[in-house]
Amino acid sequence: MTKPILITGTGVVSAIGCGKEQTLDALLNNRTGVGPLVYLKTEHKEFPVGEVKMSDYEMRKYLNINNDTITTRTALMGMIALDEALKEAKITSEMLPNVGFISGTTVGGMDMSEQFYLDYVNNDNHKEYIAVHDCGSCSEMTAKHFGKFAFITTLSTACSSAANAIILGANMIRRGEADIVVVGGSECITKFHLNGFNSLMILDTQWCRPFDATRAGLNLGEGAAYLVLESEESAKKRGVKAQAILSSYGNACDAFHQTASSPDGEGAFRAMKEALELADIQPDKIDYINAHGTGTPNNDLSESQAVKRLFGDNVPPMSSTKQFTGHTTSASGSIEAVFCILALQNGFLPVNLNWSQPMDDGIVPVHQAVKKELKHILCNAFGFGGNDSSLLISKDMRHETTRHETEGQESHVTGPEVSRPLFVLSAKQISVQQPLSEDWMTQPIEYQTPFNRSIDPSFKEYIPPIEARRMGKILKRAIATSKEAIKASGLESVDAIITGTGYGCIENTEFFLESLSKEGEQMLSPTYFMQSTHNTISSLVAIQTKNHGYNVTYAHKGISFDSALQDAVLQMRLGKINSALVGGHDELTPTFYQILKKGGMMGLDDEMCGESAVSVVLGSKSDNYLCKLVNFKMLHKPTMEQLKAVAADFKADHILTGISGNHKSDVAYLEECKELFSGAKLLKYKHLFGESFTSSGIGFYVAAQCLKAGRIPAHLFVNPQETIDNKPSNILIFNHSDGDNYSLTLLEA
């Protein structure tokens, strides 16, 4: 059985226009949107940029949003693109409860945080913007403008975020977990990353020249684009047409350096090769490659090498479109996917503008307008840390019957299969309890203070000092727990590294914001910037463990770890991977604790806040394991009826709750548990480990270790009278975040 993924709607906004009509016109007429800076307030007027030609105020007007509503520029652009995509796919707000939304961003609400940071620290002004700093809030704000989606999550893999959102959505449809998923990304230009890229000295003061001998860096851009991915049955039922087919995709990690691509383009080569193999398509069938092509000396050389390795002397026509839009960072994967769809529909090759001299060892890009019928296009998006992805987008040729013509549109992965249990092979933590140990079972450390930092082990045996000296604590904890978890799993290596983090390396982000706010836009540290991207954690773990496999990062509030877990389970059930390292990592500094408390995000009532690093290894086969993972489900703003229907599949003797000392949320938790799981014994863990954005990872760890030990310590029971029972047979981890996002994870002994 084949399951083509249809693209039934697209929407886009970038420097070359608002909507597909303007975009196509600009692409056909070689009209760039890159020019002098107008909207962003920065000292760096020397850098040309690709801004969307609307102020925030004009975007609000366009979207009919009043001035009292809290928004960020990234969310506003997202709404503009999402509106066009939903309309084209004929999706109304009534249908949204059956539609998923997966967005990619790294900047999130940084445009506001960089303006108000000193207020956040010093007074109560603008504190309403604190809650929209993170990536997940941005996706939810975008989605909320249209209605209530079935589920929402956020990918944050720097410049490949949107491409990875597309991959997740496609996998969910392949597996039959959704019929329609809207995927893509959004990112506005901020002072934060303009200065960050400047500190890395990769911005060109002239119009960028990808694949040119004289190229000297990139121009930043901004924008958003979303694609509606839909199963064939659903599109047929609704009577909507496919704009194009998402034939396949690949994701691999370069595992080379945090900010540079390897000289031989290993990650890019693997991602493109995987895309061709999944579609079972020969390289000579590719009619065009939309390159990542940023215009930095390093990227263009590395990408050229990767393409030459894969295509030999027959490199297909290839161009970068970053001269049109600037580098739209997290949104580039979906914006350029829309360009590819426009190229397929209108039969033309986008021109690699501003090119004149071939570079040494580089490809020669398309530098003159070419009209040509196109069938298969590869679209590349690569991110910092070597998070490389490639999408294969094809013309809809399902009506053409010969094998030759439909080649590339058949997936070798079949539909839903019977869910078999997956094994939790190992789980390791560093937190406010004794690190890398299960001492908390017998000798828990009790805290009276509302905010506590992790107890760190010596990191020397995990990371060579020369490499450790630039790493923030969160990175060291992630590497140490990852290495310990892989060792304890008995596996030599894992097939995938999937990480969740609510706020990423917040300490380095804080340093960078502080110097930007206090010292101004000069002489900022590249180290702080490069570590501020959320995917630094996952990519450093890949570098440290030399892992080129699937690698992504989720940054969606309290369900970041849960989202990572969902992806791992999905891919294991699709048979794409046999093992995965799933991480949940968040750190907290005294300053950010105060900021988040001020924003009402944590530390309310008697809540104890901590830091947590958890790494678990899942495997599909094992004779030595902690426990089995038998079921997993995520829900967005479910009704009680929906929760009840789902809870029926998650029957358990013990429920591990996330009660944390936040009175309002605890009451809701306990009432829901009573209604959903009557008779089950309730457990808690946050009184020992504290609240953090990825504490559900700690919950997973605690449940897995209890099942392995065959006992639940008395101090975990919500009701102390219930502690007689031993030898638990199963534990359900019931997590919810802000009352909006729920996850249920059923573990069995």
Partner 1 sequence: MDELIYTLKQQIIEALNLEDMKPEDIDENATLFGEGLGLDSIDALELIVMMEKNYGIKLQDPTQGKEIFKSVAVMADFIAKNRTK
Contact residues: partner 1, CB under 8 A: 199-201, 257-260, 465-466, 469-470, 522-527, 530
* Residue 45 CB, nearest approach to partner 1 (Å): 16
* Residue 202 CB, nearest approach to partner 1 (Å): 9
Positive or negative: CA dihedral 532, 537, 543, 548: negative
Nearer to partner 1, 383 or 690 (CB): 383
Of residues 361, 339, 365, 342, the one with CA closest to residue 353: 365
Nearer to partner 1, 351 or 524 (CB): 524
* Residue 527 CB, nearest approach to partner 1 (Å): 6
Nearer to partner 1, 201 or 369 (CB): 201
* Residue 265 CB, nearest approach to partner 1 (Å): 17
Three-state helix/strand/coil letters over 449-479: CCECCCCCCCCCCCCCHHHHCCCCHHHHHHH
3-state secondary structure of 385: helix
d(CA 11, CA 18): 9
d(CA 698, CA 682): 16
- Is the distance from CB of 329 to CB of 311 less than 8 angstroms? no
Nearer to partner 1, 399 or 460 (CB): 460
The residue whose two tokens read 């996952």 is 538
Q: What is the CA radius of gyration of the chain?
A: 24
Q: Where are the beta strands (DSSP E) in 320-399?
A: 348-349, 370-371, 376-383, 387-394
* Residue 201 CB, nearest approach to partner 1 (Å): 4
Nearer to partner 1, 69 or 205 (CB): 205
Nearer to partner 1, 46 or 233 (CB): 46
Nearer to partner 1, 340 or 475 (CB): 475
* Residue 309 CB, nearest approach to partner 1 (Å): 23
Report strand pairing: 99-104 vs 151-155. parallel
Nearer to partner 1, 527 or 723 (CB): 527
> Would you list the DSSP string of 414-452?
-S------EEEEEEEEESSSSTTS-GGGTS-----SSB-
User: Which run of H or E residues covers position 486?
Assistant: helix 473-489
* Residue 385 CB, nearest approach to partner 1 (Å): 13
Nearer to partner 1, 120 or 528 (CB): 528
d(CA 555, CA 486): 23
d(CA 326, CA 310): 27
Of residues 106, 121, 208, 195, the one with CA closest to residue 159: 106
d(CA 468, CA 475): 9
Structure tokens at 516: 């930007």
Nearer to partner 1, 279 or 540 (CB): 540
* Residue 522 CB, nearest approach to partner 1 (Å): 8
* Residue 523 CB, nearest approach to partner 1 (Å): 5
Helices (H), 214-365: 232-238, 266-279, 297-311, 322-325, 332-346
Positive or negative: CA dihedral 507, 513, 517, 523: positive
Q: Count other Cβ atoms within 10 Å, centred on residue 41.
A: 8
* Residue 499 CB, nearest approach to partner 1 (Å): 21
Structure tokens at 565: 């877990």
- Is the distance from CB of 669 to CB of 184 less than 8 angstroms? no
* Residue 59 CB, nearest approach to partner 1 (Å): 35
Of residues 540, 414, 420, the one with CA closest to residue 473: 540
Nearer to partner 1, 496 or 530 (CB): 530
Helices (H), 158-265: 161-174, 191-199, 232-238
Nearer to partner 1, 326 or 526 (CB): 526
- Is the distance from CB of 573 to CB of 621 less than 8 angstroms? no
Q: Which residues contact 68 (CB under 8 A, 6 or more apart)?
A: none
Nearer to partner 1, 509 or 695 (CB): 509
User: Which run of H or E residues covers position 62?
Assistant: helix 56-63
* Residue 259 CB, nearest approach to partner 1 (Å): 7
* Residue 299 CB, nearest approach to partner 1 (Å): 14
- Is the distance from CB of 728 to CB of 612 less than 8 angstroms? no
Q: How far is CA 157 from the centre of its chain?
A: 5
Tell me the angle at which helices 161-174 and 332-346 cross, rounded to the nearest 10 degrees. Answer: 70
Nearer to partner 1, 121 or 216 (CB): 216
Exposed, middle or buried by CB within 10 Å (0-12, 13-18, 19+), for 71?
A: buried
3-state secondary structure of 661: coil
* Residue 465 CB, nearest approach to partner 1 (Å): 6
Structure tokens at 466: 């020369």
Exposure b/e, 371-385, CB count within 10 A at least 16 = b = eeebbbbbbbbbbbb
Nearer to partner 1, 424 or 524 (CB): 524
* Residue 728 CB, nearest approach to partner 1 (Å): 45
Nearer to partner 1, 2 or 522 (CB): 522
* Residue 216 CB, nearest approach to partner 1 (Å): 9
3-state secondary structure of 356: coil
* Residue 198 CB, nearest approach to partner 1 (Å): 10
d(CA 673, CA 680): 9
d(CA 188, CA 105): 9
* Residue 266 CB, nearest approach to partner 1 (Å): 18
Calculated CA dihedral for residues 623, 626, 627, 628, nearest 10 degrees: -60
- Is the distance from CB of 526 to CB of 124 less than 8 angstroms? no
Nearer to partner 1, 542 or 712 (CB): 542
Nearer to partner 1, 464 or 739 (CB): 464
